[in-house]
Amino acid sequence: MASRNHKFGNILGAGRAEIDHQMLENAFVETADYRALTSTSDYNFVVGRRGTGKSALFFKLQETLTKRNQLWSANKPEEYETLELRHILTQYAPEYREARAVARLAWKCDILLSLANLRYYKNQRAPSLLFVADYIREHSDLFATTGPQRCAAIIKQYAKQANRDSSLPAAIATGLQINRLQNAISSVMTETNRTAVLFWDDLDEGWAPDQATTAVLGGLAAAASDLAEAQTGIHCILFVRDNMFRALAHFDQDFSRNIESNTLRLQ
Average pLDDT over residues 32-57: 91
Residue 241 pLDDT exceeds 80: yes
Distance in angstroms (rounded) separating the CA atoms of residues 105 and 89: 12
In a domain, 13, yes or no: no
In a domain, 259, yes or no: yes
Read off φ and ψ for residue 54, nearest 5 degrees.
Answer: -60, -50
Calculate the average pLDDT of the chain. 87
% helix, strand, coil for the chain, step of 5? 60, 10, 30
Residue 124: is it exposed, middle or buried by C-beta count within 10 angstroms (0-12/13-18/19+)?
Answer: middle
The count of structural domains within the chain is: 1
Provide the phi-psi class of 188: left if phi over 0, else alpha when psi is between -120 and 50, else beta.
Answer: alpha
In a domain, 47, yes or no: yes
Residue 7 pLDDT exceeds 70: no
Residue 2 pLDDT exceeds 80: no
Which H helix or E strand runs over 24? Answer: helix 21-27
Q: CB count, 10 Å around CB of 231?
A: 10
In a domain, 242, yes or no: yes
The pLDDT tens digits of the residues spanning 154-210 come to 999 999 877 654 589 999 999 999 999 999 999 999 998 989 999 999 998 888 889
In a domain, 199, yes or no: yes
24: confidence class by pLDDT, cuts 50, 70, 90:
low
The pLDDT tens digits of the residues spanning 75-89 come to 999 999 999 999 999
pLDDT of residue 15: 56
Which H helix or E strand runs over 111? Answer: helix 96-116
51: confidence class by pLDDT, cuts 50, 70, 90:
confident
Q: What percent of the chain has pLDDT over 90?
A: 65
**Could you tell me the residue range of the domain that residue 77 belongs to?**
43-265
Cβ-Cβ contacts under 8 Å for 134 (sequence gap 6 or more): none
Distance in angstroms (rounded) separating the CA atoms of residues 50 and 39: 25
Exposure pattern of 191-204 as b/e (b: 16+ CB <10 Å)? ebebebbbbbbbbb
pLDDT of residue 120: 82
Average pLDDT over residues 50-76: 90
Asked whether the whole model's pTM tops 0.85, one would answer yes
Q: CB count, 10 Å around CB of 35?
A: 10
**Residue 233 gets which letter from DSSP?**
S
In a domain, 7, yes or no: no
148: confidence class by pLDDT, cuts 50, 70, 90:
very high
* Choice between 141 and 30, residue whose per-residue pLDDT is larger: 141
In a domain, 208, yes or no: yes
Distance in angstroms (rounded) separating the CA atoms of residues 45 and 110: 19
In a domain, 229, yes or no: yes
